[in-house]
Each structure stands twice: as structure tokens, then as C-alpha cells.
A and B are shown apart, each in its own frame.
Chain A
Amino acid sequence: MRATVLVRPKPGILDPQGQAVESSLRQLGFPVGDARVGRVVDLEVDAADEVAARAEVERMCEQLLANPLIESYEIELGGR
């Protein structure tokens, strides 16, 4: 099963990359605000069903894919 993990800097955590991207977008004339830069991890998960797959990917996030002190994560299953 395909799984996609979206990892983001937690709200309140300084994100200088996001600030740099926002500044560049503004220079291009896009009036954007509050840009944040995270990370996408696509995975093929061997699991019986979506419940099992989600539980497995959650464990991956807690142990490696995200640092819970500074990052939040979101898991999407299926698709593509």
C-alpha cells in the first residue's frame, strides 16, 4: 500500500527556510505570507489493511521520520 508522510515544522518553531521562500515569492510579485517548508516521504508499506498500515507508519514517524519535539506529521494512505 502506498503511504505518503507529510512532515512539517511545528507551529511556533522558527522556519528560516520558509521565510526565505516567502521572501523570494514576494520578490516575484506573489503577495504570500506564512510560508513553511516541510518534507514529503513516499513509502510502499506491506500491511493487511489501512488500519494496520496507518499504525505502522505512525510508529515510523515517531521513531525516525519526524522529530516529535520540533515536527508534526500527517499520514495519507492509498492513491497514486
Chain B
Amino acid sequence: MTESRPRIAVVAFPGSNDDRDALQALAGLGAEAVPVWHADEQLPDVAGVVLPGGFSYGDYLRCGAIARFSPAMRAVAVFAEDGGPVLGICNGFQILCEAGLLPGALRPNESLSFVCRDVDLRVERTDTPFTSLCEPGQTVSIPVKHGEGCWFADDELLAELEANGQLVLRYEHNPNGAVADVAGVVNAERNVMGLMPHPEHAVDPLLGSTDGALILRGLIAAARDRTAIAA
């Protein structure tokens, strides 16, 4: 029996630059990847959404602050509200935080330097669709490339997220000053996740790591389940 290819949207904004990598990685891992333009008011018939990396709207005002008003983002919010799996990568993470779909905010790196390198991440939670294929406590190597990846939550919010098990990925060696070494978080319902590292850049041995495929395959599996339920 061949597995079905669930349809997953990749939303491109003006200034996105990792949308094609995301499309290619998803297609290579068994999804039917569907490009969506930010001005589209409806999502096509998809069972998952990726918000890719880049510099949407030139990062004006704050990273992600303008993109959240895109027509496509209204549709993404409705999709997330309905329980659909949504993965925000880098700028996509920033957009989800600005949109209030994920907790916290992303600030300029502590060093003020743009960081671009492979980082080791500890998988803290495997009870999310996105990390369900990882082992608890597993270390994965996935590259980061960002100037504003310093995730922030105040003490109260951090304690709440820790108690709810929403802090999913942590840096082994913090590259940006993020509070509590946090690299990725999920919402309370666990169907929306954001992370600063780029899983779509770590899906082939030629790229130095295939660990990113674990995260994307988790998303694809969740989309496949959603498609089966809908059918």
C-alpha cells in the first residue's frame, strides 16, 4: 500500500525567501506541497500549513508584524482554530507570535550578529504532531540563520508554558540569547508550532543533516491523519 500524499500549503509573503526550499523539502518527503500567495483570501484544500522563513514586508516595524495582516493569514488563523497543523519556521515563527497564535515574542539577537550555522537542539516534548517522530531528549542538528531569533517570555508566561509542556525545542548552546534556551514552542492545543531553526534545510545528507526531516515528516503525518478523518 502506498501512503497518500497529503496536501500542505506553503504561504509566501513579499520578502519570503525559504518558500521554495519548504515546497521542495515537503514534496521530497511525501507531501503534495501547494504554494499559496499572501494575498489569497482562502487556503486551497489542504491539511497542513507551513509559514516559511524570510523577511516578510522587509521586517518593517517588527519582524512578522505586518505579515500577520495578510489576507492569507486570516485564513491560516481559521485553519489553526479548526485544529489544522501549522508550522512556522523562522520568519514564520515571528509571524505566528505577532498574530497571537503562539506565545512570546522574538527580539534582536543578544549579540546583534546575524547567526548562520548548524545548531544542536534538544527535543523536550514529543507529544506534539511535529516532534512525534523524535525520541524524548533526542539531540537533533538543524541550521539557524537569523538576526532576530531571541525568543522572549516574561517569568509568568515562561512558567505557564513550562507547566503546560509547550517549550518543545531547546538549544544545547544558545546562539541568540533566547529566554531559557527556547528554540521552538507550541500553542496550548499543540497544533501550531514555531521554531527558529530551519528543518527544510536539513533534509538531505548533502546538506549536512537529515534531522529536519523528522519535524517535517511529523507535520506530514499529522496532515495525512487530518485528510483521512475528513475523507
Q: How far is the CA of A63 from the CA of B98 in the complex (A)?
A: 10
A32 at the B interface (CB under 8 A): no
Q: How far is the CA of A67 from the CA of B107 in the complex (A)?
A: 11
Task: Indicate if the CB atoms of B152 and A13 lie closer than 8 Å.
Answer: yes
- Interface-located stretch among B5-13, B109-117, B134-142: B109-117
List the A side residues contacting B98 at CB < 8 Å: 67
Task: Indicate if the CB atoms of A70 and B152 lie closer than 8 Å.
Answer: yes
Task: Indicate if the CB atoms of B109 and A16 lie closer than 8 Å.
Answer: yes
List the A side residues contacting B112 at CB < 8 Å: 16-17, 20
B229 at the A interface (CB under 8 A): no
Mostly, the A contact residues are mixed
B150 at the A interface (CB under 8 A): yes
Mostly, the B contact residues are loop
Q: How far is the CA of A70 from the CA of B99 in the complex (A)?
A: 15
B108 at the A interface (CB under 8 A): yes
Q: How far is the CA of A13 from the CA of B98 in the complex (A)?
A: 17
List the A side residues contacting B48 at CB < 8 Å: none
A sample of 16 inter-chain contacts (CB < 8 A) reads A13-B107, A13-B152, A14-B107, A16-B108, A16-B111, A17-B108, A20-B112, A64-B65, A67-B62, A67-B105, A69-B105, A69-B152, A69-B153, A69-B154, A70-B105, A70-B152
Closest 7 CB pairs of A and B: A16-B112, A70-B105, A69-B105, A67-B105, A16-B108, A16-B110, A20-B112
